[in-house]
């Protein structure tokens, strides 16, 4: 049976994009080569429509570990290596889930600290900022930046004005560092710490992930847990799409 050809507008309508996006995806190698009619019109098929659906599902920022793996999935699909695409999609799923696990662990650390669990050993004397930075393995500029952004409040020596980091400040700084390392934004961390400073020691997970109505949200890291959950679902949907494509065989 001769294949049923689709127009650029048909593919665009089926996948909810502008026709120019379809042309761009073809140019970037996300779709199999598209034959042309004698008059020069593109002759898309169901294969291209499914490849377009896959691209629209999996191309979603952020890309934990980088975008290269996602592009490899699409390029394998475009050359007909659906088994390879499926294998890489599961690799990507593992990567996203690992990112999610790191984010969850950081919240557990925050919750333990907020509940009164000591996260720093006793010191014989407060540390100067250079000593505190060395102890934590961060730069002095980072500690100053956290203080400047309201995450830390560090007491000063009344005699010379030098910052004095005690176990309270070092413990709080450790929590901040871990949250930042696992993807949370300064704004989301500030939101959680402000509530903690007001006496709130519960529901910090939800507070960390829920921007207030008066906040301007500029990055997905302002609601990082929700972003990772959404991303994981998109990868699962992409895996389902590849399985559908494998089952079709396009005969």
Domains and CATH numbers, the chain: 8-98+227-248 (1.10.1660), 100-223 (1.10.1660.10)
The greatest distance separating any two alpha carbons of the chain, rounded to the nearest whole angstrom, comes to: 90
Residues 6+ apart with CB under 8 A from 55: 25, 30, 31, 74
Of 225 and 3, which is predicted with more confidence?
A: 225
Give the pLDDT band of residue 217 (cuts 50, 70, 90).
Answer: low
Residue 154 is predicted with a pLDDT of 95
| pTM as predicted | 0.88
CA–CA dist 152, 175 (Å, integer): 11
Q: Which residue has the tokens 């961060």?
A: 138
Burial of 139 from C-beta contacts in 10 A (0-12 / 13-18 / 19+): exposed
Helices of type H across 82-139: 82-114, 129-136
Count CB-CB contacts under 10 A for residue 148. Answer: 10
Please provide the average confidence, as pLDDT, over all residues in the chain: 93
Is the confidence at residue 1, as pLDDT, over 60?
A: no
């Amino acid at each position: 049976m001769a294949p049923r050809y689709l127009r650029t507008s048909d593919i665009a309508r089926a996948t909810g994009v502008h026709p120019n996006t379809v042309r761009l995806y073809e140019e970037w190698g996300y779709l199999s080569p598209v034959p042309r009619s004698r008059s020069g019109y593109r002759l898309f098929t169901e294969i291209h429509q499914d490849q377009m659906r896959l691209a629209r599902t999996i191309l979603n920022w952020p890309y934990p570990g980088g975008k290269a793996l996602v592009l490899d999935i699409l390029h394998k699909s475009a050359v007909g290596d659906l088994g390879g695409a499926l294998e890489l999609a599961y690799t990507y799923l593992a990567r996203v889930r690992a990112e999610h696990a790191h984010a969850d662990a950081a919240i557990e650390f925050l919750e333990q600290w907020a509940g009164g669990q000591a996260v720093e050993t006793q010191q014989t004397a407060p540390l100067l900022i250079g000593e505190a930075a060395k102890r934590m393995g961060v730069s002095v500029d980072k500690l100053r930046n956290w203080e400047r952004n309201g995450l830390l409040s560090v007491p000063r020596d009344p005699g010379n004005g030098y910052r004095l980091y005690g176990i309270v400040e070092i413990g709080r700084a450790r929590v901040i560092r871990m949250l930042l390392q696992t993807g949370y934004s300064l704004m989301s961390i500030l939101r959680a710490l402000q509530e903690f400073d007001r006496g709130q020691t519960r529901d910090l997970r939800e507070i960390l992930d829920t921007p207030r109505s008066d906040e301007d949200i500029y990055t997905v890291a302002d609601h990082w847990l929700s972003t990772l959950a959404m991303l994981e679902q998109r990868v699962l949907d992409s895996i389902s799409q590849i399985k559908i494509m494998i089952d079709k065989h396009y005969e």
